[in-house]
Amino acid sequence: MSDAEAACAVTPVVRPIWRRFAPRFLEHAAQFARSGGFAAVALSDACVEALFAPGDDGELRPHAEWALASVDGAEVSTVTEGCATGLARARLDADRSYTVLDWCDRDAVHPGPTRAMRLDCVACTACCQEARVVLRPADLERFRAHGRPDLAEDGPVHRDAMGVMHLRFASLRCDQLETAGTCRIYAFRPDTCRAFLPGSEPCLAAREDTLDVRDDAPDAETAETGEGES
């Protein structure tokens, strides 16, 4: 394992907590979002408005971008009036709302707007299994620059029906993933891998699907009674 990989093996993460709010508690929802959490204002079971505090540049922060990407995106606008003025808002349809409300149930055990975690990426490797790592021209150039032009050829690479190149996954595991959980090409891994955000919703979903680890979700009784909802 390289020094860089060793340094990244255990990753300290502070992730936003999802919290469900009834519309009458919009002021509390706005305060929660401004404190770093993600507020889900449930207009109904089939319609949720998610509130996020934007970054200093006015854009969505990475955890918010990854959360929305994991529900196939949603149109984002800026609230221009009322107690939520300045926050980013995304209105979600029924399918997306169901997913977000499930995240709220999962996070109901956490009291604050954020949660500190330490993720051992080498012990986990969930994101290196059952994934889709698209390869772009910059990735292929990086392989060649590090003396591995073979990684751009058939074998390590798979082309789908549309001609898009991916890293090959044999038995649902990336071929570059070693038994010990390290990556053979970590120093010059693809941009898709470099961009993946530890502690993001796709990360948590991969851990749940692959390792059967749900991030301290409440039990079924808590979820059904709505305990913890503001």
> pTM value?
0.84
Identity of residue 214: R
User: How far apart (Å, rounded) are the C-alpha atoms in residues 188 and 202?
Assistant: 22
Q: How far apart are CA 169 and CA 204, in angstroms?
A: 20
Q: Which residues contact 31 (CB under 8 A, 6 or more apart)?
A: none
Report the pLDDT value the prediction gives residue 50, as an integer from 0 to 100. 97
Tokens read off for 68: 């929305």
Coil/strand/helix, residue 222: helix
Cα separation values, 57 from 38, 73, 125, 197, Å: 18, 20, 33, 19
For the CA atoms of 186, 187, 189, 195, the dihedral, rounded to the nearest 10 degrees, stands at 90
Mean pLDDT of successive 10-residue segments in the chain (230 residues)?
Answer: 54 94 98 98 92 94 95 90 97 92 94 93 92 91 93 81 85 89 94 94 93 66 41
Per DSSP, the three-state class of 13 is: strand
Residue 62's pLDDT is 96
d(CA 14, CA 66) in angstroms, rounded, equals 14
d(CA 42, CA 55): 24
Confirm if 39 and 29 have CB atoms less than 8 A apart: yes
Predicted local distance difference test score (pLDDT) of residue 44: 87
What is the token pair recorded at 126? 């969930």
The pLDDT, as a whole number, for residue 8 is 53
User: If you write DSSP's letter for every residue of 130-182 in order, what string do you get?
Assistant: S---B--HHHHHHHHHTT-GGGGSBTTEEE-TT--EEE-EETTEETTB-TTS-
